[in-house]
Structure 1
Amino acid sequence: MQKFLFLFITTMGLATASASTVDTVAIYSPSMQKTIKCVIIKPNHYDDSTTRYPVAYLLHGYSGSYASWVETAPNLKEYADDHQMILVCPDGGYNSWYFDSPINPERKYETHVSKEVVSYVDDHYRTIPDRNHRAITGLSMGGHGAFYLGLRHPDIFGAIGSTSGGVDITPFKTNWEISEQIGDTINHKDNWKNMTIINMIDKYPTDDLSIIFDCGTDDFFYKVNKALHKKMLDMHIPHDYIERPGEHNGEYWKNSIEYQLLFFKNFFARNPDEK
């Protein structure tokens, strides 16, 4: 009995020592002149090795925060271990849509996430600091944000994703304070035309991006996701698209992120670290 108890305690101790860890850090944003929080999940053995890791960035949705993804999908810690990657959950503000707002110079969440957060993570963690080992995805507003940042910064992100994403904002002109970020649809109609994903696909190179997105068939964003999928097929843009039963809720996103992280793991594996 004593031998069994000793083995049990030893095994539990090893499991605890090798479990993933969650850091909440404060990142100063020079572009917005304020400090913004961010969650960073490190895989097991990070603290007792010299290994460098690929990174997946997860963007939250409207009214969310840096803590939303961990609350929605507690299994993220297990996925960090299983896939041996660092997961980063930035804060995109209550309703930023991850734009550098063309009408409000105080809101620069595109710069914050794509430049300031990425630089902080690469400076403070053992990452593989290149586009072939960085991916970005998000839910709802964050799905729009991940595509928006990925398309505009292919030198930073090599793989992009979206789950239940607002990939076409034009049918939702009065929703979620989007007009507070890019202006009204009369005086700033070009912003609505040029800053939505389904139109950006025409203008930004996708040849060197790995792309995955999905949406539930009972989601209010289902039609715009299906339309984006059709347009990408017509344009012969390689991508993985998944639709399955589901609504715009945490249950769907918790299920979806498991498959998206596996997609990113496979992307990283095709691009071994040459350092």
Structure 2
Amino acid sequence: MSSTTLKAVFYSESLQKEMNVNVYLPPNYDAQDKYPVLYVLHSYKLNEDHWFKALNITKKADELITSGKIEPMIIVAPKIDNSFGVNSADHTGYVDGSGKPGDEGVLNAGKYEDYITKDVISYVDSHFNTIKSRNSRYIGGTSMGGFAALHIALRHPNLYSKVGGHSPALFVGKMWDVLEKMIYPTSTVRQENDPLALAASQKLNKLNIYLDCGDQDDFKEGTKKLSDILQAQKTKSFEFHTTPGGKHDDAYWSSQVENYLLFYGGFDRE
């Protein structure tokens, strides 16, 4: 039996609009009652197709499940717009100064954290055969999606047991002022949204955390800083990988997808 990939659209209460989501069902899906779920979040300017098409996660999952290296799992890639996965406004809209609606880089404000942690999980749990517990729920992402995954899992360790920040877009120096106003409007909100601040303040003893980036990555300084903070914290497990020559791009992430899946679904890590 081969795996199945579905494209779905559902209405998000938090955002008050319809959102796209891609879902991978493992080979022989009907043979098992329930499956763990991996949520993967896309980079800035991209969409729900990023992980499935550009990074080929479904093909790699097929291989690793068939060869018995990872547990069969459902993989969900939701569209998160250019939101960084934070609750940045009560109403969904575009951020002034970030571009025009329709521009690929325009920033999206709204309750995106609620959308990811409530609406997406609720949609997936009610439509697919999922194990509805944190132990079987994982989240990860690349770049902006890596920021979002870390922000969300560090704030909601009750929802996820594993999180991966794959070249996460972590800001330690000067950043685009329009983006800064959106995700860190005040120093108090920064404490609540910044993965670096959350890593230092949250109780993380139940989380398995995976960080990685290439050594040619513009965000490597922030990733290294987060790694230093996490090394000093009590986590269930923590690993940090750097790859010589790796850049902040699809070529690097594609080369790492097998390692990511072994982290989320490998049998020998529990």
Give the structure-2-normalised TM-score.
Answer: 0.84
Partner of 1:263 in structure 2?
263
3-state SS of paired residue (1:201): helix
Alignment of 1:106-255 (within 5 A): 106=92, 107-166=110-169, 168-174=170-176, 177-179=178-180, 181-182=182-183, 184=185, 188-237=186-235, 238-245=237-244, 246-255=246-255
Q: Which amino acid aligns with 2:76?
A: V
**Structure 1 CA distance, aligned partners of 2:264 and 2:2?**
21
Alignment of 1:10-159 (within 5 A): 18-46=1-29, 48-80=30-62, 82=65, 83=70, 84-93=72-81, 95-101=82-88, 103=89, 105-106=91-92, 107-159=110-162
Q: Which amino acid aligns with 1:239?
A: F
RMSD: 2.0
Partner of 1:9 in structure 2?
none
Q: CA deviation at 1:267?
A: 6.7
For residues 36 and 19 of structure 1, do their structure 2 counterparts lie closer, same or farther at Cα, with a shift above 3 Å needed? same
Q: Which amino acid aligns with 1:87?
A: I
Moved more, 68-77 or 199-208: 68-77
For residues 223 and 134 of structure 1, do their structure 2 counterparts lie closer, same or farther at Cα, with a shift above 3 Å needed? same
Aligned 8 A contact 1:25 1:37 in 2? yes
- Which consecutive unaligned segments of at least 5 residues does structure 1 have? 1-17, 271-275
Aligned 8 A contact 1:99 1:110 in 2? yes
Deviation track 1:226-256 (CA, whole Å, cap 9, x = no partner) reads: 1111222233544011011200000111122
Q: CA deviation at 1:92?
A: 0.6
Aligned 8 A contact 2:190 2:197 in 1? no
3-state SS of paired residue (1:156): coil
For residues 80 and 121 of structure 1, do their structure 2 counterparts lie closer, same or farther at Cα, with a shift above 3 Å needed? farther
Please identify which structure carries the higher helix content.
1
Q: CA deviation at 1:61?
A: 0.8
State the aligned residue count: 245
Aligned 8 A contact 1:26 1:35 in 2? yes
Larger radius of gyration: 1
Identity across the alignment (%):
30
Aligned 8 A contact 1:24 1:38 in 2? yes
3-state SS of paired residue (1:162): strand
Q: CA deviation at 1:258?
A: 1.5
Aligned 8 A contact 1:213 1:242 in 2? yes
Aligned 8 A contact 2:155 2:198 in 1? no
Give the structure-1-normalised TM-score.
Answer: 0.83
